[in-house]
C-alpha cells in the first residue's frame, strides 16, 4: 500500500445558473457582485408572499435538443462545457473508466409537474414524462448522452448532494474504480420546491441576505460540473490542472428533519472530518465558500460553527455566493465549488452582496473577527479553500481544494469487512391482490418502541427504512450512544425514493395553487429524509448519504458503505435498499407497460426495505459480533443505454461479475451460487442467462428472491445479498455472488465469502 493517497485533480469546469450561461460569465458576474435574482417567470406567484427566484435564462431547447427533464438538460449543458474545457478526447479514452456522479434534490420535478398538470387539466398525460421523473434517471441520461460507460450514481442528499458527489468521485478514483468522473450537481426551478419552502415560510420576500438580514432563502436553478481525474491520468494526457481535491467530510446532525442543530455540532464534525481527510490544519484554510442560505437558523448555526472552529481570524475570507445566484438545492455545492476554484485561480474572493453600512457594522459583531467579505470582491492568494453544504435531514458535507499538490497519508483499511446484522421488511401478497405489500402498521413499530408522535411524521418510504434499520441494529446487538454515534454511518439505496409523497404534494400544488403547499408533507419529498429520520431516531451521527440509481441501488449502497469503512470514515455502516409500493407507484409502472397488459406481464411488483450491518474486522472483533459473511469483492459496470432500456447487453453484467470476482481474489469457479434478478421481464432474464452461461460454462445454481416478495427494486437487490449471507453457513461452497441491474444498462455484483 502506498504511503500517500492517489491525487485527484480538477481539469474541467462547467457552470450554468442565473449568473450566466457558462463558467466564465457566471464567474464574471459573481466576482463583480452582480445578482441574477429577479421576479419569478416560470409560474404565477401572484398569491405568494414572495416573488423572487434565480432562474436560468435558457429554454429547454437552448440547453439541449434532446428530450429530457430540465434538471438533466441543465446538467448536460454544464457537463458539455466541462468536458470541452478539460480537453478530454473521448474517442481515445477507455469509456468504461469514465463515470458520472451527480447530486440532485428534486430530480425530475418539472416532469412530475407536467405529467399531473396535463392530467388535471384534461390533456393526455405523456408517458415519456414518467421516465423523466426519478432522480435515478439523471446520471444515466447524462452518461448516455456523452457515451460514457463508467460507474454512475445519483447522490440525493438535498442541498448537500452537489458537494457529496464531488467527494464520491474522488473516493471511487482513489479506490481504483475509475480514472475520470463527470461530477457535480443539478436542479431545475420547480413549483414543488417553491411551494414547499413557501409553506415552511422559509422564502425571503426580497433578495436573500445570507449572514445579514437572514430572513429567508431565494430558490435558484442550475448545474455545476467538474471533471475530476487521477493525477496520473491527467498528466499522461498533458491536461491543465485547476487544483487538487484533497478530502471531504460528511456527518449527520441526528437532530431535526429541516432545522440544523443550534450548537452546530454536525456542521463542525463535517468540517473537522474534511480537514483530517485532507491532511490540513484548519488554520491553513484561506477561504470558505459558506453554505449561507439566508435563513436565521442556518445562518446562526453556521456563524457559531465558524467562530468556534476558526476563532478570531481576520485573514480567513468567508462569503456566500447564494446572495447572487440563489439556493440551487442539489446543485448548490457544485456551483459553489466552481466559484471557489475560480477564486483560487483569480487570486480574489467573491463577495456576499446586499450589505448597507449599518449591516456591515452588525456583521463585525456577529462574525467574531472572521473576515466576512461583504459587497465587493477581495484580492487574496487562496491556496487552500473549503466549501460547505448543510442540508435537510441534518446532512452535512465539507470539501477542501488545494492550489498546490499535497501529500495525504494513506490510511485505507484493507482488513475484511463482515455482515453482522440483517433487517428485512418484505411484502406479502394478500388474497386476490396483484402485488406484494409490507406491513408498516403502528402495531409493528410499537414492538420496537417507536412512539406514535415520531411515527406520524414519517411517509411510507421513511417508515420502511426506519423499521429495517432498527431490526438490523437489534440483530447485530448494536446500541447507539455517545460513545459510538460518530463511528456509525448510513447509506440508503433506492430506485424511486418517496415518489408517493412527491406526487401527492405536487398534485396538491396543482389543484390548490403554489401558495397552498403543505408544510407537513414537503420535508418528506426529499429523497434523503428517510436516512435523516433513521439518524434522528437512532442517534447515528456519522457518514450519511442516499443513492438513487435504479433497481441495483440496494447493492450499490453496500459498496458505498464498504468504501466508507475502507477510508476509515466509520467502523460500522448501515447499508440499505428500499422502495415503496402504493397505488400511485402501481399506476405509474402500469402506464409504462411494466406490469398489467404490457410487454412485461410476468412482473409482479413488491415493496420492502433491507438493511445490512457492515463492520470492520476490528470493530467486529471488539464487539464479539456474529458474522453472517464477509464482503469479499464488488463491482459496478454499465453499457451506455437509454434509461428506459431494461434488458440491454450482457456485456456489462459479465464485466461486473468478472471485476467483482477479481476484486475478491478468486476464480469464478470458486463460486457455487448466484443470487440473481429474474423477474419476468424476458429481455432481462435473457441477459442473466447469457451472462451466467458465458462465465460458468458447466452450469451453476441460480436463486431468486422475487418469487417470494415481488419486484421490490432496490429492496430486492439488498434482499438477494441478505439471503446469500444467511445461507452461507449452510452452503457447500466458500463463495457466493449477488447480482442486480438498473435501467440504463448498469449492473452490480457483490461476492460473499464464508466468515
For position 103, what pLDDT does the model report?
98
Annotated domain spans of the chain = 8-402, 417-753
pLDDT tens, position by position, 551-565: 999 999 999 999 999
Half-sphere exposure of 680 (CA within 13 A, CB side): 18
- CA 676 to chain CA mean position, Å: 26
Report the sign of the C-alpha dihedral through residues 350, 352, 357, 361, in that order: negative
Predicted TM-score (pTM) of this structure: 0.97
Q: What is the CA radius of gyration of the chain?
A: 24
Decide if 112 contacts 122 (C-beta within 8 A). no
Annotated active-site residue in 145, 213, 291, 639: 291
Query: Does the active-site annotation cover 291?
Result: yes
Query: Does the active-site annotation cover 639?
Result: no
Could you give the CA distance from residue 165 to residue 486 in angstroms, rounded to a whole number? 21
Could you give the CA distance from residue 265 to residue 251 in angstroms, rounded to a whole number? 10
Annotated active-site residue in 75, 105, 159, 243: 159
**What CA–CA distances, in Å, run from 132 to 8, 238, 552, 566?**
32, 38, 18, 35
Could you give the CA distance from residue 733 to residue 87 in angstroms, rounded to a whole number? 49
Decide if 134 contacts 496 (C-beta within 8 A). yes
In three-state secondary structure terms, 627 is coil
Homologous superfamily of domain range 417-753: Thiolase/Chalcone synthase (3.40.47.10)
CA dihedral 197, 461, 129, 639 (to 10 degrees): 120
Could you give the CA distance from residue 609 to residue 574 in angstroms, rounded to a whole number? 12
In three-state secondary structure terms, 64 is coil
3-state secondary structure 451-479: CHHHHCCCCHHHHHHHHHHHHHHHHHCCC
For position 131, what pLDDT does the model report?
93
**What CA–CA distances, in Å, run from 664 to 46, 185, 702, 736?**
60, 33, 20, 11
Decide if 588 contacts 507 (C-beta within 8 A). no
Query: Does the active-site annotation cover 243?
Result: no
Could you give the CA distance from residue 512 to residue 74 in angstroms, rounded to a whole number? 29
CATH placement of domain 8-402 = 3.40.47.10
**Start-to-end CA span in the chain (Å):** 24
Could you give the CA distance from residue 384 to residue 382 in angstroms, rounded to a whole number? 6
52 Cβ contact list (under 8 Å, min separation 6): 37, 38, 39, 40, 203, 204, 205, 206, 207, 208, 218
Q: How many beta carbons lie within 10 A of that of residue 216, not counting itself?
A: 24
Could you give the CA distance from residue 516 to residue 508 in angstroms, rounded to a whole number? 8
The stretches in the chain having pLDDT less than 50 are 1, 597-599
- CA 675 to chain CA mean position, Å: 27
Q: Where are the alpha helices (DSSP H) in 121-236?
A: 128-132, 136-146, 161-174, 191-199, 231-236
Longest dimension (CA), the chain: 80
Annotated active-site residue in 145, 198, 233, 327: 327
Q: Do domains 8-402 and 417-753 have the same CATH topology?
A: yes
Amino acid at each position: 500500500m502506498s504511503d500517500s493517497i492517489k491525487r485527484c485533480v480538477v481539469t474541467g469546469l462547467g457552470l450554468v445558473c442565473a449568473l450566466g450561461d457558462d463558467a466564465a460569465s457566471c464567474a464574471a458576474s459573481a466576482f463583480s457582485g452582480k445578482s441574477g435574482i429577479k421576479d419569478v417567470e416560470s409560474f404565477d406567484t401572484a398569491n405568494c408572499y414572495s416573488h423572487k427566484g434565480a432562474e436560468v435564462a435558457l429554454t429547454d431547447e437552448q440547453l439541449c435538443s434532446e428530450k429530457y427533464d430540465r434538471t438533466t438538460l441543465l446538467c448536460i449543458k454544464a457537463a458539455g462545457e466541462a468536458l470541452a474545457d478539460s480537453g478530454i478526447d473521448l474517442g481515445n479514452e477507455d469509456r468504461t473508466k469514465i463515470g458520472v456522479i451527480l447530486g440532485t434534490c428534486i430530480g425530475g420535478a418539472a416532469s412530475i409537474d407536467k405529467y399531473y398538470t396535463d392530467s388535471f387539466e384534461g390533456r393526455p398525460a405523456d408517458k415519456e414524462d414518467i421516465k423523466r421523473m426519478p432522480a435515478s434517471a439523471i446520471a444515466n441520461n447524462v452518461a448516455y448522452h456523452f457515451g460514457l460507460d463508467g460507474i454512475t450514481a445519483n447522490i440525493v442528499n438535498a442541498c448537500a448532494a452537489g458537494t457529496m458527489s464531488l467527494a464520491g468521485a474522488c473516493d471511487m478514483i482513489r479506490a481504483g474504480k475509475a480514472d475520470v468522473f463527470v461530477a457535480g450537481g443539478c436542479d431545475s426551478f420547480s413549483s414543488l420546491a417553491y411551494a414547499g419552502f413557501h409553506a415552511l415560510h422559509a422564502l425571503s420576500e426580497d433578495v436573500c441576505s445570507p449572514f445579514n438580514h437572514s430572513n429567508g432563502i431565494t430558490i435558484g436553478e442550475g448545474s455545476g460540473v467538474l471533471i475530476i481525474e487521477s493525477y496520473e491520468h491527467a498528466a499522461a494526457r498533458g491536461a491543465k490542472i485547476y487544483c487538487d481535491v484533497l478530502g471531504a467530510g460528511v456527518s449527520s446532525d441526528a437532530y431535526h428533519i429541516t432545522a440544523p442543530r443550534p450548537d452546530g455540532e454536525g456542521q463542525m464534525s463535517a468540517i473537522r472530518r474534511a480537514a483530517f481527510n485532507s491532511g490540513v490544519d484548519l488554520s491553513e484554510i484561506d477561504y470558505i465558500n459558506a453554505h449561507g442560505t439566508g435563513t436565521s437558523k442556518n445562518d446562526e448555526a453556521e456563524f457559531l460553527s465558524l467562530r468556534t472552529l476558526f476563532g478570531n481570524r481576520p485573514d480567513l475570507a468567508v462569503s456566500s455566493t447564494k446572495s447572487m445566484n440563489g439556493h440551487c438545492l442539489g446543485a448548490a455545492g457544485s456551483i459553489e465549488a466552481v466559484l471557489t476554484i475560480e477564486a483560487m485561480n483569480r487570486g480574489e474572493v467573491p463577495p456576499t452582496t446586499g450589505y448597507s453600512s449599518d449591516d456591515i457594522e452588525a456583521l463585525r459583531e456577529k462574525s467574531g473577527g472572521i473576515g466576512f467579505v461583504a459587497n465587493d470582491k477581495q484580492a487574496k492568494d487562496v491556496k487552500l479553500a473549503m466549501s460547505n453544504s448543510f442540508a435537510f435531514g441534518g446532512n452535512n458535507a465539507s470539501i477542501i481544494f488545494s492550489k498546490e499538490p499535497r501529500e495525504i497519508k494513506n490510511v485505507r483499511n484493507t482488513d475484511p469487512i463482515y455482515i453482522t446484522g440483517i433487517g428485512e421488511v418484505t411484502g406479502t401478497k394478500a388474497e386476490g391482490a396483484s402485488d406484494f405489500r409490507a406491513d408498516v402498521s403502528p402495531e409493528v413499530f410499537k414492538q420496537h418502541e417507536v412512539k406514535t408522535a415520531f411515527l406520524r411524521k414519517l411517509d411510507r418510504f421513511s417508515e420502511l427504512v426506519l423499521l429495517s434499520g432498527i431490526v438490523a441494529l437489534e440483530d447485530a446487538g448494536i446500541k447507539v450512544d455517545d460513545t459510538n454515534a460518530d463511528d456509525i454511518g448510513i447509506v440508503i439505496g433506492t430506485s424511486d425514493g418517496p415518489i408517493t409523497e412527491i406526487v401527492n404534494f405536487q398534485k396538491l400544488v396543482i389543484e390548490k395553487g403554489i401558495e397552498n403547499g403543505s408544510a407537513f408533507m414537503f420535508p418528506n419529498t426529499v429523497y434523503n429524509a428517510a436516512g435523516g429520520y433513521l439518524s434522528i431516531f437512532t442517534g447515528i451521527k456519522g457518514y450519511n448519504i442516499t443513492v438513487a440509481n435504479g433497481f441495483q441501488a440496494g447493492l450499490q449502497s453496500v459498496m458505498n458503505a464498504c468504501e466508507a469503512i475502507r477510508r476509515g470514515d466509520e467502523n460500522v455502516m448501515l447499508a440499505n435498499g428500499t422502495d415503496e409500493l402504493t397505488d400511485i407507484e402501481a399506476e405509474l409502472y402500469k402506464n409504462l407497460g411494466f406490469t398489467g397488459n404490457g410487454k412485461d406481464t410476468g412482473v409482479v411488483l413488491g415493496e420492502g426495505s433491507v438493511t445490512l450491518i457492515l463492520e470492520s474486522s476490528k470493530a467486529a472483533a471488539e464487539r464479539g459480533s456474529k458474522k453472517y459473511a464477509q464482503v469479499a469483492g464488488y463491482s459496478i459496470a454499465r453499457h451506455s443505454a437509454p434509461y428506459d432500456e431494461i434488458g440491454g447487453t450482457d456485456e456489462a453484467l459479465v464485466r461486473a461479475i468478472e471485476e467483482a470476482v477479481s476484486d475478491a481474489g478468486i476464480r469464478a469457479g470458486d463460486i457455487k451460487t448466484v443470487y440473481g434478478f429474474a423477474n419476468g421481464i424476458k429481455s432481462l432474464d435473457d441477459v442473466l442467462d447469457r451472462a451466467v452461461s458465458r462465465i460458468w460454462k458447466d452450469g451453476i445454481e441460480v436463486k431468486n428472491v422475487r418469487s417470494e416478495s415481488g419486484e421490490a427494486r432496490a429492496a430486492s437487490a439488498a434482499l438477494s445479498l441478505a439471503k446469500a449471507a444467511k445461507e452461507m453457513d449452510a452452503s457447500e461452497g466458500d463463495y457466493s455472488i449477488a447480482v442486480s441491474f438498473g435501467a440504463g444498462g448498469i449492473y452490480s455484483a457483490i461476492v460473499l465469502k464464508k466468515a
